[in-house]
Copies of this chain bind each other. A is one copy, B any other.
C-alpha cells in the first residue's frame, strides 16, 4: 500500500461513513416501524432491516478495511487526535466484527425476529411454555457468540463487553454485592413506614397536553428540537440517525401523568448525550455514546437525580399546576414531590422506584448468568424468578406475564449483557452528579430557577463531546477522578429517602459507605 497517512485516513473515513449510513438507514426503518408504519408493512420491513444489517456487517468486515486499518495502525506515530483514537476504535470494532461469521449474524437475526414476534403473543397470553424453545435457542446462540471471543473468564464476559466495554462478570458482581444488601435493607425500612400518597398522579390527563408539557421541559433542559423530535410509541426509546437528527419517543397514558413525563425525560437524557457528541466525529466509529452504562447514566441522571428532585419541581410545579389546574390546584408541591418518589415493592421493573429498581436488575443479571452457565434450565425460569422476587422484594408475581415474561430483552435474543447497564447507569449518574456539584456547587439553585446550563455544560465537556474516543472506564476516571464506585449513589439514595421517610438505620449505612469507599474510591463527605 503506497497511500499517505492523509489519504489512508480519508479512505478510512469514507468507508466508515458508508457503514454508518447503512446502519443509520436501518435505524430510520426501525423508528418508522415503531412510530408510523401501517401493520401491513411488518413482514417486508423485517426483511429490509435484515438486508441493511447484512450489508453493514459485510462492509464492516471487508478485508480491505482490515488492511487499511493495519496500515494506519503501523503509521500511528504520524496520526494526531482524534484520528488516532478513531484508528484504534475502528480497528477494535473491525477485529470484533470479523470474529463473528456472516452466517451466524444471519441465523441470529432471523431467530431474534421470530422470537420477538412469538413473545408479543406469548406475553399477551401469559404463555411461558410457548417461549421455552425460543429462549433455549437464544441461550445457545448467546453461548455460541461468546465462543467467538474465547478465551474468557466467564461465558458472559464477551456479551457484557459488547454493551459495556471493559466490564466483566467479576467486576459487576463486586459492584452488585455492595449494592444489594443496602438496597434490601432500605426497602425493608421504608416498607415498615406509612406509604406516601401518590393518588394525585392518577386521573384524566389530556394526551396532547402531556406531550406538550414534556416537550417544554426537555427543550428547556437543552434537547435541541431542530435536531430532534418526540413521538409516541408502545415502548419509549431514543435513536440517533446523525448528530443533526436524534429522536426520542414516549408512551402516554391518559389515566396517569408521571409515566409519560419521566419516560420523555429519560429518553431526552439519552438524546442529550448523542446531541452532545462532537460534530466532527459524526458518521465515524467515534460518533456516538460510549457504552450502555454511560448512556443509561445520562438518562437516569436527568430522569431521577434532576427530574425527581425537589429544586427541579420548585420551578416546574407551578407550570404543571397551570397546565393541569383541575388536577393540581389543590395539591401542594410537597405532596407532588412525595408522590413521584413513593417507594413500593412492585412486580414490574419499568414501574419501579429508585430504591427498588436495581433489585429488579440484579436478579435478572444473576438469572441470565445461571442460564448461560447451564445451572438454570430455561423451563425452570418462572420458579427461579418467583423465588428471587420473594427473597429480594418480599412479593411474587401471580402470572409469568408480570414475572419472567415482562421484559423484551431476553426474548429479542439477548441473553447476557442486556441488563447490567441500567444499574451501572444509576451508580454512574450519581458519581457524575456528585463531581459536577463539586465543580459547580450552586447547580441546585440553578435547578430552582429552571437553569440547566452549568450541569449540562459539565456533562457536555466531561462526557458527551468525547463520543467513543475513550474507553468507558477511562472516561469515568477522566471525568470524576475515580473509577466507577457505588458510594455516591448510596449516599444520594440515603440522603434523599431519609428526608422522605426518615430511615432508622441510615446512620449505620453511612458507616457502611466508608467501607465501600475504601474499595479504590476517595472518601466523600458524610452519609445520609
Contact = CB atoms under 8 A, between A and B. Distances in A.
Nearest to A51: B21
Contacts of A38: 225-229, 244-245, 247
Contacts of A36: 36, 229, 231
Contact of A52 (B22, B37, B225, B247): B22
Interface stretch (A42-50, A291-299, A360-368, A495-503): A42-50
A40 B226 contact: yes
A29 B40 contact: no
Nearest to A245: B41
Interface string A216-230: 000000001111110
Contacts of A84: none
Given A28-B29, A52-B25, A40 B241 contact: no
Contacts of A241: 41, 44-45, 48
A518 B252 CA distance: 65
A283 interface: yes
A41 B44 CA distance: 26
B52 A21 contact: yes
A222 to B, nearest CB: 14
Contact of A48 (B25, B32, B225): B25
B28 A32 contact: yes
B48 A21 contact: yes
A29 to B, nearest CB: 6
A126 interface: no
A25 B29 contact: yes
A281 to B, nearest CB: 13
Contacts of A231: 36
Contact of A244 (B24, B41, B224): B41
A245 B52 contact: no
Contacts of A22: 51-52, 55
Contacts of A227: 38, 40-41
A125 to B, nearest CB: 23
A17 interface: yes
Nearest to A282: B44
Contacts of A44: 24, 241-245, 282-283
A18 interface: yes
A247 B37 CA distance: 9
Contacts of A242: 41, 43-45, 48
Interface string A192-232: 00000000000000000000000000000000111111010
A39 interface: yes
7 contacts: A22-B55, A28-B32, A31-B32, A38-B244, A40-B224, A45-B241, A45-B245
Given A18-B51, A40-B224, A43-B242, 17 more contacts: A21-B47, A22-B55, A24-B48, A25-B26, A25-B51, A28-B29, A36-B36, A38-B227, A38-B229, A40-B226, A41-B242, A42-B244, A44-B244, A45-B241, A45-B245, A48-B242, A55-B55
**A-B complex: 9 closest residue pairs judged by Cβ atoms:** A41-B245, A44-B242, A40-B244, A40-B227, A21-B51, A21-B48, A41-B244, A25-B25, A40-B226
